[in-house]
């Protein structure tokens, strides 16, 4: 029978399970739609004119315009053949917003990578401990009791039943006790230990 856990241990288990539940809830709150939207907004912000570099190349910074960087920067504020102070303010705000989105997305990606690493390490530790425990149980199950040979050895080479009987019999000499219980015989067929060994005083 498994030993009953203390109240402190039960609270510890509850705390860890609550953390796992919170992690699952947080993971579910980060939708594919939200990630896709952030990546799309970041990609759009790369183009000088607010367009992706592969869309309308003849008008975007990634297009065929061969002017200098100064000329390119100047045209960024011009919606057409004319431009004004309002246009410069708009493009400046747009650039600022693009930087904010990019920084936020990068921070989110870093946090996701860190969370993945931490959970991966926790999972590895749990599986590693579980594997070692199963190996120990497997070795215990493979070794049979030195007295009865029926049940697995769990107490110093004996099964629990025979170990407890040895204690009830006063903990006599283990070797002689085992020989008596097994009724070991010599080469001539004579029983080696005919009487139960005396209990320890």
Residue 118 sits in which domain range?
A: 8-44+86-140
Residue 53 reports pLDDT greater than 70: no
How far from the centroid of its chain's Cα atoms is residue 59's Cα? 49
Per residue in 66-76, pLDDT (tens digit) is 444 444 444 44
Average pLDDT over residues 16-45: 92
Q: Does one domain contain both 155 and 120?
A: no
Q: Does one domain contain both 15 and 108?
A: yes
pTM for this prediction? 0.47
Residue 103 reports pLDDT greater than 50: yes
**Which is more confidently placed, 40 or 134?**
40
Q: Does one domain contain both 91 and 34?
A: yes
Q: Does one domain contain both 106 and 167?
A: no
pLDDT band at 5 (very low <50, low <70, confident <90, very high): confident
Number of structural domains (the chain) is 2
Residue 95 has a pLDDT of 64
Residue 58 reports pLDDT greater than 70: no
Per residue in 123-179, pLDDT (tens digit) is 999 988 988 888 777 665 668 889 998 888 888 889 999 999 999 999 999 999 999
In angstroms, rounded to a whole number, what is the distance separating the alpha carbons of residues 173 and 161? 17
Q: Does one domain contain both 199 and 106?
A: no
Q: Which residues make beta-bridge pairs with 152?
A: 144
pLDDT band at 80 (very low <50, low <70, confident <90, very high): very low
Average pLDDT over residues 59-85: 45
In angstroms, rounded to a whole number, what is the distance separating the alpha carbons of residues 47 and 61? 6
Work out the percent of the chain whose per-residue pLDDT is above 70.
70
Residue 77 reports pLDDT greater than 50: no
Q: Does one domain contain both 100 and 21?
A: yes
Is 116 inside a domain boundary?
yes
Residue 68 has a pLDDT of 45
């Amino acid at each position: 029978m498994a030993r009953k856990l203390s109240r402190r241990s039960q609270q510890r288990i509850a705390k860890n399970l609550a953390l796992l539940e919170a992690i699952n809830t947080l993971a579910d709150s980060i939708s594919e739609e939200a990630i896709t939207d952030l990546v799309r907004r970041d990609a759009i912000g790369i183009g000088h004119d607010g367009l992706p570099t592969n869309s309308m190349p003849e008008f975007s910074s990634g297009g065929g315009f061969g002017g200098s960087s100064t000329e390119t920067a100047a045209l960024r504020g011009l919606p057409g053949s004319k431009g004004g102070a309002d246009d410069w303010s708009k493009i400046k705000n747009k650039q600022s917003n693009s930087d904010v989105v990019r920084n936020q997305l990068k921070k989110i990606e870093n946090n996701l990578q860190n969370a993945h690493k931490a959970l991966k390490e926790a999972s590895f530790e749990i599986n590693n401990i579980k594997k070692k425990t199963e190996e120990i149980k497997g070795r215990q199950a493979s070794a049979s009791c030195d007295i009865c040979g029926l049940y697995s050895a769990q107490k110093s080479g004996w099964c629990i039943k025979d170990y407890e009987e040895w204690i009830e019999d006063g903990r006599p000499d283990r070797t002689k006790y085992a020989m008596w219980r097994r009724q070991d015989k010599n080469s001539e067929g004579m029983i080696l230990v005919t009487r139960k060994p005396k209990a320890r005083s």
